[in-house]
Amino acid sequence: MTPSLSPWNAHGTLGCLEWPRAWPPIRTCAWTEETKDRCHWDPFLTACQQMARVRGAPQILSLSQPIPELDPLAVLAQKLGSLPPNRFPSYWYLSHKARGERVRVLGWGSLRQVDLSGEGGLRAARSFVEELQPHVHTACVSRRELLQVDGFPGSRQERPLCFCRLGFSPRSDGGAALVLPRWQLLQAPDSWGSLAVARLNLEIDPESDLAALANQITTFFAQMERLSPSPLPSWELQAPVPVDVEEAPLLARIQKALQAIQAGSLDKLVLAEAVDLHLPAPPSIPSLLAYLEKHHPDCSIFAFAARVRGTESFGAASRGSSPASPLPLTQEGIHPQVFLGATPERLLSVWQGRVQIDALAGSAARGATGHQDQVLAERLLGSAKDRREHQWVVRSIQEALGRLGMDPCISPQPRLLRLANIQHLQTLIEAELPANVHLFDLLAQLHPTAAVGGYPQEAALQWLERLEPFDRSSYAAPLGWVDLQGNGEFVVGIRSALIQGDRARLYAGAGIVADSNPEQELAEIRLKLRSLVQALALRPAAPLLPSL
């Protein structure tokens, strides 16, 4: 379990207990003028340093404070706007639905991280969490008036989170990593309205300067307090950049996939297309994310930013006979690379041993009128081709869970998931996670499902290696967060783009089955690409002045 550190239990005797299926209790202290004095933090810091000496290893003190009216995207905009030139941070943002309400999480910087590229990346992820868990200690500073509120953030909000980005395959060049950020913000709906929880993570070793760390704590929370009234990023619409899909090569790949399916090598193959764009100017990432949240309310919105060195280009990892055009960097040194999108697909949610998974496959456009929309919906529900494509996805998930000894509960019939410009068939799947199975063990079995790879899984991946002339990077890969108890939320990185300065690579795909029509699959890919084209044409209405 994650022990809660306080001056009354910090004698170096806490051990690593079995992971609980419920949260441990939270220590809180009231927010007073005293907490603004760095001396208030001395007992916490001293206790953690004592534990570092006893255990012979650095410890992490994770402190949180609820702050009203603190918007994660406004904070991200202010932080990015305050950076000096040529300073490009790493950050992680995920906005997803929980119980019908939106949860928004932002992580900034890296305190600890592990590289997940290559074979065995998910085993490394589990080891990272298990080894980190006994050395993280939490405390919450709360305002006096908030201590009286029922449902004070003492459950999901009161935990440090690790952010995870994977590549589509172990060979993908996508910055796959699991990161404990230097600080995080979590905003979730509750009886306390728009309250957010700000969390600062500090590493403490036997030789740490505790006075400097105490000053860092007071500075961080004071900064978050000043940012709480900051406005959301605003934007202005511009004409979207034209998207040019090279039809002939894509149709040729679809035909080859159909030939493989008709020969019995495959039942389904999901082919992707990557389209490179030159934007009028580097987009404002916070504005872009705010736009996606507004116009795609039923999707999970994500952005994972990492630094890329040297003169690499998006096309550097291309393969095959017709490589995608390279996107050279326009500056020297270290450059930010942001993978972002609006995905309708949740790969899995794990909470206290309960697993929820979405099976998503089978698509149709939305209608221009209510009547036309209903006709298209009924046609999708009755389509033998789309139902067959969808069933391969359900079957692949069921088989993956079965390999871990899990007996899932599966909805008997798919339902419609209606989005802004497209609708899908969706089946909900639930199961109990065995006590000896970690979230990352489940991810290793699930990814890639037949929704993004094909069926059978291994044969589909071999065909994709031969047919797709570009590296998928994190397209269609798992993205999300995990806590130290093994709870987590992961989505599938579809309807996405890789952005670097004024260059962008958009991704979209379509599932090919025996009776697929190549022209219809091409039209579906075009439809999916539209999810991000308008968002990439945004420009901030007015620059946000740094207030840090």
Separation between Cα atoms, residue 344 and residue 18, nearest integer Å:
35
Report the C-alpha gap between 499 and 285 in whole angstroms. 9
Torsion of CA 175, 181, 182, 187, to 10 degrees: 130
Q: Which two tokens stand for residue 468?
A: 């797709």
DSSP helix/strand/coil, 262: helix
Element (H, E) at 279: none
CA pair distance 255, 158, nearest whole angstrom: 51
Among residues 273, 293, 345, 521, which one is catalytic? 345
Rounded-to-integer distance, Cα 17 and Cα 50, Å: 20
Residue 528 known to be catalytic: no
Helix axes 518-533, 247-262, angle to 10 degrees: 130
Phi-psi region of 93 (alpha: psi -120 to 50; beta: other; left: phi over 0): beta
- Cα dist from 416 to 159, 318, 349, 385, 391, whole Å: 34, 36, 20, 16, 14
Alpha-carbon separation of residue 320 from 75, 135, 272 (angstroms): 42, 46, 14
Q: Are 231 and 194 in contact (CB under 8 A)?
A: no
Distance (Å) of CA 251 to CA 238, 248, 254, 257, 264: 31, 5, 5, 10, 20
Does the active-site annotation cover 97? no
Euclidean distance between CA atoms 389 and 187, whole angstroms: 37
Catalytic residue, from 79, 158, 268, 521: name it: 268
CB 95 within 8 A of CB 293: yes
With tokens 């589509």, the residue in question is: 168
What amino acid is encoded at 230 in this protein? S
List Cα–Cα distances, 36 to 32, 41, 142, 222, 223, in angstroms. 7, 9, 12, 8, 12
Q: What are the b/e assignments for 447-473, b being 16+ CB within 10 Å?
A: bbbbbbbbbbbebbeebbeebbbbbbb
Residue with tokens 């994977």: 166
Contact (Cβ atoms closer than 8 angstroms) between residue 118 and residue 365: no
Q: Name the region of 271 (left: φ>0; alpha: ψ -120 to 50; beta: rest).
A: beta
Query: What's the CA gap between 93 and 262, in Å, rounded?
Result: 42
Strand partners, 117: none
Active-site positions read 268, 345
